Amino acid sequence: MAKICLDPGHAGGNIDPGAVNGKMGLQEAIINLVIASQVKKHLVAAGYQVLMTRTKAEQVETDSLKYRCELANNWGADLVVSLHCNSAASEQANGTEIYTSLGETNGDRLATCIINQITASFSDLQLRADWDDGDPDKEQNFYILRYTDAPAVLLEMAFISNPEEAAKLADSAWQRDMARAVARGISDYFV
Ligand SMILES: [Zn+2]
């Protein structure tokens, strides 16, 4: 079975908590890890091999994107899926978005598979899409997308800076549904 590398964004704890919602006491790095761990369970149950680039709440070596990419590449990952929570200065900013590297790659197809599952599961989550090239992903030269050998996507699940979405990100039922949607999207890629 295929080898899936899951990349929970940020090193966690005091090293790099990622985006933080101070009012609600939420740290992005923790949510990324919780949901990635659930994605892993689904994929392992379906027979995939899964490697997580970070498994602890705080893990110093993961503060290097180079380390994360080398981990995925040396393992021979077939896909890389990086999970993040979005953040903006405005509390109004909301929705989900997914990034791929520049140009047309298999990452685009993976992104579409994941987005299709997310929009099917979350009718209330705005899709922040870029349809210019005919698919919903946005393209950016993010390090984790650029320096991984396998098709890769970076998913910004929702905005931790938005009070309503922060409450969802912290909600175990929402986390479960998001993990299931991401896992299904990954499986769809191989159909
Ligand atoms: Zn992040």
Q: How far is the CA of 136 from the centre of ligand 1 (A)?
A: 20
Residue from 61, 156, 164, 165 carrying the catalytic annotation: 156
Å from CA of 70 to ligand 1 middle: 19
Cβ-in-10-Å burial (0-12, 13-18, 19+) of 75 comes to middle
156 is catalytic: yes
Task: Give pLDDT tens digits for 123-154.
Answer: 999 999 999 889 999 999 999 999 999 999 99
**Ligand 1 center to 102 CA (angstroms):** 19
| Domains of the chain, CATH where assigned | 3-189 (3.40.630.40)
Q: Is 22 exposed, middle or buried (0-12, 13-18, 19+ CB in 10 A)?
A: exposed
Q: How close is the Cα of 19 to the center of ligand 1, in Å?
A: 6
Assign 40 a pLDDT band (cuts: 50, 70, 90): very high
- Report the Cα 158 to chain-centroid distance in Å: 10
The answer to which of 42-51, 75-84, 133-142 has the lowest mean pLDDT is 133-142
